[in-house]
Structures are given as structure tokens and as C-alpha cells.
């Protein structure tokens, strides 16, 4: 279990470990599904963004009976221990020690034996209980024992006191410089167009100032407006000059100023990957980093594979004990081999990285993935908790400035590929849903994803029902593998076009 400290299993979004990351000043989960859809150019589906101290994540919102609904189990799962039992038309959900009882077609539920109005009829589909989004603000506190704030219009849900506040003010000695202070680190994408600069927060629980319109009494930067929609928040700054954004190393301060007025001390990180618009907003150093070769050793490899499939754990590292007799390391190999079959059937050359019970370090796995110049890296994990599939992409530390210049640093090698990794995760998620497999997409500071230079995702498979033996069923393995393979095939051209 030596390498498990860096593996997905110990960094599960459940429980304490992610809280540890947060207090360590590293970002919590991100709303990548929304972001990835933007990257892939598809029309964004409606999503509910959930912000909590345990994880930030997003869930699809579905329309049922002219109301917006969301899966309750999927919503609660990252926050604690959940299990559900179907006894049609009844559905019983346990969250930690709280029991919720729902009945199909009824707009009242019982939580710990007490009546609760759920603002619409309860719906059950494929054993999944769906509740109206509108009831979450009142329903969730009954389960969680603490406050939950719903922004229903914009699809944002805040669990506990999680909001990030901000102030904005023009510098007293330079009216062309606007300084934002945030109460927690943020990492928005930055976009410019004539007369405007836009900061978009898809991952952070940023909330509106007292008034959504701020005026600064500056001729060059007259005002800014705050707006939120479909799970994200946006600040649009009006300006008569082209502005560039620079981020403080702690991620809590953003300074907007004309390019020639950048203070050297703030350590300008430049706009995020979504930056567009005037050349002044895109420092050339970022563009150079995105094009440059990696710092990783480039061993000569005889063959280029399109996909690298990694069976996590192995050898002495058994992974999670899924049952007294079932080790995760054996399940991951079975899924990896199944995915290779499915990909090769679709004409995609595939290498299974650990095709035996070998000990392979995380660095070695990343090294192989990088030196084979694969277009996509997929790591398999297996879990006994939860249902269906959790898809992870990497979450890098804030202020990762090591990647400027010609070399990428090993800890943040993934940085330039994150949009592509998120597009891959969104594509795989869409295909798995077509197979009726429950999916959530999440980010976590996972190795070796962080060290892989190409598109990289981790697929953590749990049984679709509570029967753990399903993980060893060839049918289930093939169902998941074919969904993942279809997702990769769907964005094959995009993956193959990456430098
Ligand atoms: Zn694992």
C-alpha cells in the first residue's frame, strides 16, 4: 500500500483527505463538466454546481414534469456516507445516520420520520431518486444538519459557509489599475474583447457583492458587473484601455492594469487557458510554454500508441480491499484489458501499462505515458463505495508558475493539457450515461495525472448496485470499457491533433 498515499483511493473526494488539501491551500474540486462542454464546443447542458468544504462538483439538471430535477444520491454522495434502497414505489436513502423516505409521485417526503415538502413530485428512474432542484435549500439541511444556500436561477448550491467574497477598488495612485481581493484563492479564466475584460469562475463559490454593479470613479475603468448563470459566476469589467490580469502567488488578489504598467512583484501568471482577444492579454511566455517540449526524459520508443491504459496499483500495492478476497489491483487489470479490447476493436492502438502483477511507481507510470507520446492516458481504479463511475482529471496547485519558459516542471506537467483532459472526461461521461451508468466528473490533485503531459483521466469504477461482485463480472467490465472507448473515439480527432 506504499503508493496508495498518492493514489486516487486515499485521495477520495469522500471524507477528510480533500479537506486537508483545502487547508493546505490547494484548490478543491472543479466544475469541469461545464468547463469541458465549453471546450468541446457543445451547447452546455444545465448543471448544478455544488460548493462544499468536502468537494466542489457539478451534477446534470434534468427536466421532468416541467420542473428541474437532480439525483439526490449523486448530490449527497461526495458529502458523506450514502446508500439507497428501492422498494417501489418507496425509495429509502441513508445519509450518514439520517433516513429519508420518498414515494414516487408524492411531493412530501419523510426525513427522520418528520414530514418534508419537496416542492414537486418525487421521481424514480433506474433506481435513482430525483428531487426538484427547488427543494434543495430546505431539504438538504434536514440531511446535513447545517445550512445549504441555493441560487436556483443560476444553478449554484452552497453547502455551509463556503462562499468566496470579493472587493474591487481602483488603486489610489493609479486610476488605470483595478485590484480585486478575494477571501479565498481563485483561478478564473480571463477573456478580453474591445472595451471589456471578463473573469469567469467555474470552480469557485464566488458570490455577488452587495450590489452587482460596482462603479470606480475612474475614466479608464468606469465599472464592473457581477453576473451568475448555469453554475458559474462572471465579473465583467468595462475599460477604455486593454487590460491584463495578474494573479498574486496566493491566488487571492487579481490586478488588472495596462500591459506596460504591470508591477513586477505580483508574479503575473497571465490569463488562463480560456483567454482570448487582444494580444496584450496573452503573454508570449505562456504561448511559448504551450508549444515547447517537455522536461521529461525522451527515451526512444519503437512504437507510438494512441492510448495508454494504466491498471492502478499492483505488486505489493494491493489498492483497496474491495472485499475480504478481492483486491483493487486485480480489478483494475481486468478493466484495463477490457478497455484495450474495446479500443482496439475501434481501431485505436492501445498499450496496457501494467499488464501483470508488477510493482510500478507513479513516476514510472507517468514516464511511460510521456515517452510513448500517447494521445490519451486512462488510469483505472476501483472502489467499493458509491455507484457507477467517477471520472477524475488533474487539479494542479494554484500559482503554478514553474511552467513558464521552455520546460514544464514534473509536478505540473499536465497543465497545458487540462482543457483536453476535461474534454475527454466530458466525452467519456456522455457515453457512459448512454449505457445507463451513473457518472460524476471530478478533479483532484492526483498523481500520476499531474505528471502526464498528454490528455489524462482516471476512471474509478464502483458497482452500479451495491453488489461488489459486479466488479468482477465480464459483462459489467465490458459495459464500462465500451462506454469509455466510445467516449475516446468521439473526440479522437481532437486528442490526436494535440501537439
Ligand atoms: Zn485505486
Taking the centre of ligand 1 as the mean of its atom positions, its distance from the CA of residue 183, in whole angstroms, is 34
Q: State the Cα torsion 90-95-100-103 to the nearest 10°.
A: -30
Distances from the Cα of 161 to the Cαs of 73, 146, 149, 158, 248, in angstroms?
Answer: 22, 9, 9, 7, 24
Give pLDDT, residue 491.
94
- The Cα–Cα gap between 155 and 139 comes to 16
Give pLDDT, residue 409.
64
Taking the centre of ligand 1 as the mean of its atom positions, its distance from the CA of residue 198, in whole angstroms, is 39
Taking the centre of ligand 1 as the mean of its atom positions, its distance from the CA of residue 320, in whole angstroms, is 6
Joined grid coordinates for residue 347: 481501431
Reference 118, options 142, 97, 94, 99; nearest CA is 142
Instruction: Count Cβ atoms below 10 Å from residue 475 Cβ, excluding itself.
Output: 8
Give pLDDT, residue 398.
54
Structure letter (DSSP) for residue 184: S
Taking the centre of ligand 1 as the mean of its atom positions, its distance from the CA of residue 125, in whole angstroms, is 29
Distances from the Cα of 187 to the Cαs of 271, 370, 394, in angstroms?
Answer: 9, 27, 15
Give pLDDT, residue 437.
93
Distances from the Cα of 449 to the Cαs of 69, 84, 391, 454, in angstroms?
Answer: 33, 32, 12, 9
CB contact burial 80-116 (16+ within 10 A = b; e otherwise): bebebeeeeeebebbbeebebbbbeeeeebbbeeeeb
Taking the centre of ligand 1 as the mean of its atom positions, its distance from the CA of residue 9, in whole angstroms, is 4
Joined grid coordinates for residue 127: 433506481
Structure letter (DSSP) for residue 251: S
Helix axes 328-345, 474-490, angle to 10 degrees: 50
Taking the centre of ligand 1 as the mean of its atom positions, its distance from the CA of residue 15, in whole angstroms, is 16
- The Cα–Cα gap between 210 and 45 comes to 29
Q: Which residues pair with 391 in a beta bridge?
A: 441, 459
Taking the centre of ligand 1 as the mean of its atom positions, its distance from the CA of residue 4, in whole angstroms, is 7
**What is the Cα gyration radius of the chain?**
23
pTM above 0.75, yes or no: no
Joined grid coordinates for residue 8: 486516487
Give pLDDT, residue 44.
54
Taking the centre of ligand 1 as the mean of its atom positions, its distance from the CA of residue 314, in whole angstroms, is 10
Instruction: Count Cβ atoms below 10 Å from residue 278 Cβ, excluding itself.
Output: 15
Place of cell 483486491: 327
Could you read off the pLDDT tens digit of each residue along the chain, which spans 499 residues?
Answer: 223 333 355 433 332 233 223 333 333 233 333 333 333 334 457 889 999 887 888 888 999 988 999 999 989 988 888 888 988 899 999 999 999 999 999 999 999 999 999 999 999 988 889 999 999 999 999 999 888 999 998 999 999 888 898 888 888 888 899 999 888 888 888 887 788 899 999 889 999 887 788 888 888 999 999 999 888 999 999 998 888 888 888 888 999 988 765 443 333 333 333 232 332 322 333 333 332 333 233 333 335 789 999 999 998 899 999 999 999 999 999 999 999 999 999 999 998 988 888 888 888 888 888 877 889 999 999 999 889 999 999 987 654 444 444 445 677 788 889 999 999 999 999 999 999 999 999 988 788 998 898 999 999 999 988 789 999 999 999 999 999 999 999 999 999 887 6
Amino acid at each position: 500500500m506504499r503508493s496508495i498515499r498518492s493514489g486516487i483511493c486515499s485521495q477520495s473526494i469522500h471524507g477528510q483527505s480533500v479537506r486537508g488539501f483545502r487547508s493546505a491551500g490547494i484548490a478543491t474540486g472543479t466544475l469541469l463538466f461545464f468547463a469541458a462542454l465549453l471546450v468541446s464546443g457543445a451547447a452546455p447542458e444545465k448543471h448544478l454546481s455544488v460548493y462544499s468544504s468536502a468537494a466542489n462538483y457539478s451534477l446534470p439538471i434534468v427536466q421532468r414534469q416541467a420542473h428541474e430535477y437532480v439525483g439526490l444520491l449523486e448530490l449527497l454522495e461526495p458529502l458523506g456516507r450514502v446508500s439507497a434502497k428501492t422498494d417501489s414505489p418507496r425509495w429509502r436513502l441513508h445519509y450518514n445516520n439520517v433516513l429519508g423516505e420518498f414515494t414516487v409521485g408524492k411531493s412530501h417526503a419523510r426525513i427522520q420520520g418528520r414530514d418534508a415538502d419537496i416542492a414537486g413530485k418525487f421521481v424514480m428512474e433506474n433506481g435513482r431518486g430525483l428531487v426538484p432542484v427547488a427543494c434543495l435549500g430546505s431539504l438538504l439541511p434536514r440531511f446535513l444538519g447545517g445550512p445549504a444556500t441555493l441560487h436556483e436561477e443560476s444553478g449554484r448550491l452552497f453547502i455551509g459557509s463556503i462562499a468566496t467574497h470579493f472587493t474591487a477598488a481602483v488603486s489610489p495612485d493609479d486610476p488605470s489599475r483595478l485590484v480585486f481581493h478575494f477571501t479565498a484563492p481563485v483561478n478564473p479564466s480571463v477573456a478580453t474583447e474591445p472595451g471589456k475584460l471578463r473573469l469567469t469562475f467555474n470552480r469557485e463559490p464566488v458570490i455577488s457583492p452587495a450590489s452587482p454593479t460596482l462603479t470606480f470613479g475612474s475614466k479608464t475603468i468606469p465599472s464592473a458587473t457581477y453576473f451568475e448563470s448555469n453554475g458559474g459566476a462572471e465579473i465583467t469589467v468595462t475599460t477604455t484601455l486593454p487590460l491584463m490580469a495578474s494573479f498574486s502567488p496566493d491566488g487571492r488578489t487579481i490586478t488588472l492594469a495596462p500591459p506596460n504598467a504591470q508591477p513586477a512583484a505580483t508574479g503575473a501568471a497571465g490569463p488562463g487557458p480560456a483567454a482570448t482577444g487582444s494580444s496584450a492579454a496573452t503573454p508570449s511566455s505562456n504561448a511559448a510554454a504551450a508549444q515547447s517540449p517537455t522536461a521529461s526524459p525522451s527515451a526512444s520508443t519503437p512504437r507510438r500508441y494512441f492510448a495508454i491504459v494504466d491498471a492502478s496499483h499492483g505488486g505489493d500495492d494491493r489498492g483497496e480491499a474491495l472485499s475480504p478476497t478481492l483486491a483493487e489491483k486485480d480489478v483494475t487489470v481486468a478493466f484495463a484489458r477490457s478497455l484495450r479490447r474495446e479500443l482496439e476493436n475501434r481501431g485505436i492502438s492501445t498499450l496496457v501499462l501494467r499488464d501483470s502483477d508488477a510493482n510500478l511507481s507513479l513516476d514510472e507510470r507517468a514516464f511511460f505515458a510521456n515517452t510513448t507520446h500517447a494521445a490519451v492516458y486512462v488510469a483505472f481504479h476501483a472502489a467499493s463505495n458509491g455507484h457507477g463511475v467517477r471520472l477524475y482529471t488533474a487539479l494542479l496547485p494554484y500559482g503554478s508558475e514553474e511552467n513558464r519558459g521552455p520546460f514544464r516542471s514534473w509536478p505540473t506537467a499536465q497543465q497545458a493539457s487540462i482543457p483536453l483532459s476535461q474534454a475527454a472526461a466530458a466525452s467519456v461521461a456522455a457515453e457512459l450515461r448512454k449505457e445507463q451508468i451513473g457518472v460524476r466528473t471530478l478533479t483532484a490533485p492526483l498523481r500520476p495525472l499531474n505528471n502526464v503531459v498528454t490528455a489524462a483521466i482516471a476512471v474509478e469504477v464502483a458497482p452500479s448496485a451495491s453488489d461488489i461482485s459486479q466488479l468482477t463480472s465480464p459483462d459489467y467490465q465490458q459495459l464500462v470499457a465500451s462506454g469509455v472507448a466510445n467516449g475516446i473515439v468521439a473526440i479522437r480527432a481532437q486528442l490526436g491533433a494535440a501537439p
